[in-house]
Every structure is written in structure tokens, then in C-alpha cells.
């Protein structure tokens, strides 16, 4: 018996009856020989981890644009914190930890440079709009590996595209990631806001802290423990009514005081205009798109979509460098 088959058998023995078993996966779009060592979701996790799209997350904004300090979160550190939350919850509920981790690592691959500011900009100018969760799916299905995709399992792709709160993943592991994402960004964005002097602990409403705790550490501990306790031995992932109400109130507080705070967001107007300018420039200069996008163009992919693919894939640093290369005058010497 192969190692993979032993691991799949062990899943049937130890995981919850509500877990998604590797051997029951709906499979991949393109059939391929299974790995003799790794179950399918572990293999997907590895493919995402080794992808170029994942590596680029280290130079993409989470919330704060160009902060003065080394300890503010990036899109990659956010992704790793989501993964940690999801693995903790999945393991406690005896769900498929490999599946939860693969979805978590892939959920934000489609984010633009400069976070949601870049996303808003592309959504404004692209004819079909732009949504980062859909772009994450497009990356793993079509764009990675120079236009061939990662050929991930259906369950991982479903969890990636459905990680937004208004959507419903098909698996419990996907639902774990959906909540883990929100818990992670409220936890670390508050931490960054405190570090940046945008908020103080005393700013958080008293009725909230009495439910979820007085510190960032207490918040995340409360949310994760509550999800585990409320979801144990059920076919859903949820919080208790009291904690869920506090969860939504905290999200509203964060949007009012951090995500729209003029101190934290005073550069976003510049960023949005820069992304729009880059989009229009490459739409007029399609010959500058990478070779794999040129091939997809010949295959009939809409030009506007391909320009979105290129601009959204840029890191913050690369987007600024391209803007300067195109529009900022360079010094020169007369020989």
C-alpha cells in the first residue's frame, strides 16, 4: 500500500464524519496521476506554496500603505495568519487540515497591489469589474505556470472563490477559512492600528470588550474557542449568537475607525489613480504584456481581462517602478 493510501485510510479513521476526505475529492479539471506520498489536498497546498503568485504576496499591502516600520502586516503575513487560524479550528473539529490550509494559502492570491485600494481602482475601470476572490480562482485555474494553471482540486478552488462573507463554500473546511480570514484581519489590523497610533485600546466600545476581551490576544482566543465550541459535532461552522453579534459590531467599528481612517488612508487616492493610469496605458500597449498573456490573447481572451491580470499581479514596488518608468522624466546626459 502506498503512503498516500495509508494517509487516506487514516483520514477515514480519525476525522469527523463531517470532514471532507481526500479520497472523496471531486478531482481536478485535468486528470493526472495521484502522488504516491501526498493526498490530493496536501499536494494542492504545496503547489500554492511554491507558486510565484504566493511569493508576490510579501510585497503587497494589507491595509497600511508604505508604513514607517518593519512590523506591519503584508498580504503574505495576513495569509499565514489566516492559515494558522484555519488549521487550529480544523484540527480541533477533526476536519481536513490539509484542505483548510490549501484554501487559506490560496484565498488572496488574486489581490492587487496596494490591497483594496488597487481592487477598487480596477473594479472602476474594467468593463466586467474586478473582485479579488474571482481573480484568485483565475490565477490557480489559468494564469499560474505561464498560463497553464495549478490544476487544483474542485474543493480547494471552491473554497478560494467563496471565502467572502456573502458567499457559501461547499465544504466545512472552506467555511472555516471564510471565518478565519475575517478573524485574522480584524486581529492584526487592530494590532497595526495600535502600533501606528491610529487607535488606543480605550477606543474600543466597552460593550464589545466585555464579550470578546480587552486585548488583541483575548479577542482571537475568544473567537476561535467560540467557533470550536459552537461547531463541534455539527455540519456547520458558526459562532454563538452573542459572540457573532460582537464579531459584527467589531467589524463595523474597524471599518469606521481604521479602514476609512484618513490617517491610515490618506495615500489611497494617489494609489487608485496610479493603478487606473497603468491599466489604461497597458490597454493601449498590449504588446508589452508578458508572452503567456499574449498567447491567451491569441486564444480569444478579452484584452481588458488580460490587462487586469497583468496589473493586478504587480507588487506595490513593481507598480510604482513601472509608473515611474513610463511617466516620470529621467535625467540624461549630452555626450
Rounded mean pLDDT, 77-98: 97
CB 274 within 8 A of CB 319: yes
Q: Which tens digits make up the pLDDT trace of 255-288?
A: 888 877 776 667 788 999 999 999 999 999 999 9
Cα separation, 176 vs 12, in Å, equals 20
For 41-323, CATH number out of 1.20.810.10, 3.80.30.20, 3.40.50.510, 1.10.3210.10 equals: 1.10.3210.10
Q: What is the pLDDT of residue 286?
A: 98
Q: What is the pLDDT of residue 70?
A: 66
Q: What percent of the chain has pLDDT over 70?
A: 96
Q: Is 22 helix (H, G, I), strand (E, B) or coil?
A: helix
> CA torsion sign, 260 to 264 to 269 to 271?
negative
pTM of the model: 0.95
Cα separation, 17 vs 20, in Å, equals 8
Highest mean pLDDT pick, 171-175, 182-186, 251-255: 171-175
Examine the pLDDT at 335 and tell me if it is beyond 60: no
Amino acid at each position: 500500500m502506498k503512503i498516500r493510501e495509508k494517509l487516506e485510510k487514516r483520514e477515514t479513521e480519525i476525522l469527523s464524519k463531517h470532514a471532507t476526505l481526500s479520497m472523496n475529492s471531486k478531482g481536478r479539471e485535468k486528470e493526472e496521476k495521484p502522488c504516491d506520498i501526498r493526498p490530493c489536498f496536501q499536494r494542492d497546498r504545496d503547489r500554492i506554496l511554491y507558486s510565484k503568485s504566493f511569493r508576490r504576496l510579501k510585497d503587497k499591502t494589507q491595509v497600511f500603505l508604505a508604513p514607517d516600520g518593519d512590523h506591519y502586516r503584508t498580504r503574505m503575513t495576513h495569509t499565514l495568519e489566516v492559515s494558522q487560524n484555519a488549521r487550529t479550528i480544523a484540527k480541533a473539529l477533526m476536519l481536513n487540515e490539509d484542505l483548510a490550509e490549501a484554501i487559506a494559502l490560496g484565498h488572496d492570491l488574486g489581490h492587487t497591489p496596494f490591497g483594496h485600494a488597487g481592487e477598487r481602482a480596477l473594479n472602476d475601470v474594467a468593463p466586467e469589474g474586478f473582485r479579488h476572490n474571482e481573480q484568485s480562482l483565475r490565477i490557480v485555474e489559468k494564469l499560474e505556470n505561464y498560463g497553464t494553471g495549478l490544476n487544483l482540486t474542485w474543493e480547494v478552488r471552491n473554497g478560494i472563490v467563496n471565502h467572502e462573507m456573502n458567499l457559501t463554500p461547499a465544504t466545512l473546511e472552506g467555511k472555516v477559512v471564510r471565518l478565519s480570514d475575517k478573524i485574522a484581519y480584524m486581529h492584526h489590523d487592530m494590532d497595526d492600528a495600535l502600533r501606528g497610533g491610529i487607535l488606543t485600546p480605550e477606543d474600543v466600545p466597552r460593550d464589545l470588550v466585555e464579550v470578546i476581551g480587552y486585548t488583541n490576544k483575548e479577542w482571537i482566543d475568544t473567537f476561535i474557542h467560540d467557533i470550536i465550541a459552537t461547531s463541534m459535532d455539527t455540519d456547520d461552522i458558526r459562532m454563538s449568537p452573542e459572540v457573532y453579534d460582537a464579531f459584527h459590531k467589531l467589524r463595523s467599528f474597524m471599518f469606521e475607525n481604521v479602514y476609512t481612517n484618513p490617517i491610515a488612508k490618506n495615500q489611497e487616492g494617489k494609489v487608485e489613480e496610479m493603478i487606473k493610469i497603468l491599466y489604461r496605458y497597458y490597454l493601449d500597449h498590449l504588446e508589452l504584456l508578458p508572452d503567456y498573456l499574449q498567447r491567451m490573447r491569441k486564444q480569444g481572451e478579452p484584452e481588458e481581462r488580460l490587462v487586469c491580470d497583468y496589473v493586478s499581479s504587480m507588487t506595490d514596488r513593481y507598480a510604482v517602478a513601472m509608473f515611474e518608468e513610463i511617466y516620470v522624466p529621467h535625467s540624461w546626459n549630452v555626450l
